[in-house]
């Protein structure tokens, strides 16, 4: 798995897009993260002018006038975008890997400079945890700076999604959730391991309880964040090839098919 992240400082210029397209051709990433696109909307032709790969999907958060803008693009043959959360400063996507159906969340961030806005960004990111636990051995390197005043970053890992179970770490924030303590009691009473020795029973109950807490943390808290975003910003349904995706916040989703031909944008 390869991920390229790049603050491009605007992508309206055809020459700049051509330079970026050449870097992507050489590096051949699976995911491309763009910050500061300075664009309100993009389409399939625009995507082709930046990344000439077959079967691409994308999610974008538009710019605020002449600043900001986030775009996340990925290869459909590698990943399926299951769900998206749109923040003002971030775009989070729950991915499912095609090879092993492993699910994980990727967040593309464009960090603000103002104090108040930075606090808003941390609020958006408060539930993102476990990166070092599961992806601690990623390799990062700076790519050549061919445009703008930022170096793109490449993250790579040979066995992305196959590094085994992450260690269990208790999070204090779980205690703040209204249902957590009752859920733990319920799960503990439901677990009935087949063991005669009390010590072994206790061991297996703890082991199964950890699994249930991990599942709850991934599924339940993600759902809570989605509901919060839905309250703050009305959702929009956008149809993509016959499928309807729900958005929370101002976002845009699209796909480029394998056989599609496009014109314009100085390919």
8 A C-beta contact, residue 80 and residue 116? no
Cα dist from 83 to 38, 187, 256, whole Å: 24, 28, 18
Residue 257 has pLDDT above 80, yes or no: no
pLDDT value at residue 260: 46
Q: In what order do the strands lie in the sheet with 2-7?
A: 139-142, 153-156, 2-7, 31-35, 70-75, 56-61, 252-256
Q: What is the pTM of this model?
A: 0.60
Which bin fits 266, alpha (ψ -120 to 50), beta or left (φ > 0)?
left
Biggest CA-to-CA distance, the chain: 73
Query: Is residue 129's pLDDT more than 70?
Result: no
Quick one: average pLDDT of 43-49?
91
Grouping H, G, I as helix, E, B as strand and the rest as coil, residue 243 is strand
pLDDT tens column, 60-94: 888 887 888 999 999 999 999 988 888 888 888 98
Higher pLDDT, 241 or 18: 18
d(CA 195, CA 199): 9
Instruction: Give the model confidence (pLDDT) of 207-230 as tens digits.
Output: 889 888 888 887 766 666 555 555
173/176 Cα distance (integer angstroms): 5
pLDDT in tens, 172-197: 878 888 888 999 999 999 988 877 77
Say whether pLDDT at 52 is over 70: yes
**The token pair that represents 42 in the structure block:** 């993009």
pLDDT, tens digit, for every residue of 145-174?
666 667 787 777 765 554 455 567 787 878
Convert the pLDDT of each residue in 20-40 to its tens digit. 999 999 999 999 999 999 998
Name all domains of the chain by residue range, CATH numbers in brackets.
2-164+234-256 (3.60.10), 171-232 (no CATH)
Give the residue-averaged pLDDT of 92-118: 86
Taken in order 212, 218, 224, 230, the sign of the CA dihedral is negative
Task: Give me the mean pLDDT over the 250-263 stretch.
Answer: 53
Distance CA 8, CA 150 (A): 7
- Categorise residue 241: left if φ over 0, alpha if ψ from -120 to 50, beta otherwise: left
User: Which residues, listed in sequence order, are joined to residue 80 by a DSSP beta bridge?
Assistant: 96
Residue 50 pLDDT: 92
């Amino acid at each position: 798995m390869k991920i390229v992240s790049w603050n491009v400082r605007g992508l309206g210029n055809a020459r700049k897009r051509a330079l970026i397209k050449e870097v992507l051709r050489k590096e051949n990433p699976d995911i491309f993260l763009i910050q500061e696109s300075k664009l309100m909307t993009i389409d399939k032709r625009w995507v082709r002018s930046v990344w000439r790969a077959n079967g691409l999907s994308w999610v974008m958060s538009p710019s605020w006038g002449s600043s900001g803008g986030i775009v996340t693009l990925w290869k459909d043959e590698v990943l399926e975008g299951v769900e998206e959360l749109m923040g003002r400063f971030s775009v989070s996507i729950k991915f499912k890997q095609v090879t092993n159906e492993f699910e994980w969340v990727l967040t593309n961030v464009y960090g603000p400079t103002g104090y108040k806005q930075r606090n808003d960004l941390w609020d958006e990111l408060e539930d993102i945890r476990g990166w070092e636990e599961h992806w601690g051995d990623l390799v990062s390197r700076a790519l050549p700076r061919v445009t703008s005043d930022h170096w793109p970053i490449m993250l790579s890992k040979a066995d992305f999604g196959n590094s085994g179970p992450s260690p269990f770490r208790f999070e204090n924030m779980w205690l703040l959730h209204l249902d957590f303590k009752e859920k733990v009691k319920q799960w503990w009473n439901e677990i009935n391991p087949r063991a005669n020795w009390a010590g072994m029973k206790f061991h297996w109950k703890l082991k199964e309880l950890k699994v249930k807490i991990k599942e709850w943390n991934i599924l339940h808290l993600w759902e809570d964040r989605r509901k919060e975003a839905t309250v703050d910003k009305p959702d929009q349904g956008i149809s993509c090839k016959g499928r309807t995706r729900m958005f929370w916040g101002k976002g845009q989703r699209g796909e480029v098919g394998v056989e599609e031909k496009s014109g314009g944008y100085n390919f």
